[in-house]
């Protein structure tokens, strides 16, 4: 029987090798899943509060800057130009069954107060409640409107009957067939990837 040499290493048992590979593999899967499902940081986080027909009301967190609301409105514009499919933006079809598409007409209002996106408040606004309508439009942070091929978007309340209020800043107005302007890429958030 040969003497035990303290400098000689024993090979790892097959069970230990398997356990280590499962351990490392699970971390690789977790990291990969986190990387692939990371949020889009080029627009502010938003939720769809209510939807009635082609009218959709969304809210962003309080303290969202005008630049961030502008980036969200421009993202809606980009979707309108490229795919005309707002499902990826968490919006149900606004014109279901229409041969022209599921999102042929859409109006999106952006608020920074969740109370304005409540379905009951939206119903009062649509019913024409004057007290609600005035405050509703004043609380609006931004809007995007697509009517067939015509679109417009801006910050502040949506223009009514072609009248633009002093609180509204129109960002764009035109047709979805017009080319999108080339803009600088928005700054990305902190990446979790070390590469």
Do 169 and 75 have their domain in common? yes
Do 32 and 70 have their domain in common? no
Question: What is residue 162's predicted lDDT score, i.e. its pLDDT?
Answer: 65
* Percent of residues, the chain, with pLDDT higher than 90: 30
Asked, for residue 5, whether it belongs to a domain, the answer is no
Do 165 and 89 have their domain in common? yes
Structural domain including 24 reads 11-40
Q: Can you tell me whether residue 115 is helix, strand or coil?
A: helix
Do 30 and 51 have their domain in common? no
Asked, for residue 153, whether it belongs to a domain, the answer is yes
Asked, for residue 102, whether it belongs to a domain, the answer is yes
pLDDT above 50 for 71: yes
DSSP state of 163: B
CA dihedral 166, 170, 175, 178 (to 10 degrees): 150
- Tokens at 175, concatenated: 């047709």
Question: What is residue 7's predicted lDDT score, i.e. its pLDDT?
Answer: 72
Number of domains making up the chain: 2
**Could you read off the pLDDT of 16-70 as tens digits, one per residue?**
889 999 999 998 999 888 877 766 677 888 999 999 989 999 999 998 899 999 9
User: What pTM value is reported for the model?
Assistant: 0.73
Asked, for residue 193, whether it belongs to a domain, the answer is no
Do 88 and 21 have their domain in common? no
Do 31 and 82 have their domain in common? no
Please answer whether residues 156 and 141 qualify as being in contact, where contact means their C-beta atoms are separated by less than 8 angstroms: yes
**Could you read off the pLDDT of 99-136 as tens digits, one per residue?**
878 888 999 999 998 889 999 999 999 998 888 888 88
pLDDT above 90 for 1: no
Do 60 and 138 have their domain in common? yes
Q: Whole-number mean pLDDT of the chain? A: 83
């Amino acid at each position: 029987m040969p003497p035990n040499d303290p400098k000689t290493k024993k090979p790892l048992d097959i069970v230990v090798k398997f356990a280590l590979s499962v351990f490392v593999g699970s971390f690789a899967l977790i990291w990969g899943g986190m990387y692939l499902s990371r949020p889009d940081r080029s627009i502010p986080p938003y939720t769809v509060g209510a939807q009635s027909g082609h009218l959709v009301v969304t809210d962003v967190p309080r303290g969202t800057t005008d630049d961030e609301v502008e980036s969200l409105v421009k993202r809606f514009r980009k979707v309108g130009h490229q795919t005309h499919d707002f499902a990826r933006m968490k919006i149900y079809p606004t014109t279901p069954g229409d041969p022209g598409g599921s999102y042929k007409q859409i109006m999106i209002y952006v608020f920074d107060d969740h109370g304005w996106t409540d379905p009951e408040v939206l119903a009062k606004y649509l019913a024409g409640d004057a007290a609600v309508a005035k405050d509703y439009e004043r609380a609006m942070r931004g809007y995007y409107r697509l009517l067939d091929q015509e679109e417009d978007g801006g910050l502040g309340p949506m223009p009514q009957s072609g009248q633009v209020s002093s609180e509204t800043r129109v960002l764009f107005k035109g047709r979805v067939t017009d080319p999108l302007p080339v803009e600088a890429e928005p700054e990305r958030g902190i990446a979790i990837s070390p590469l």
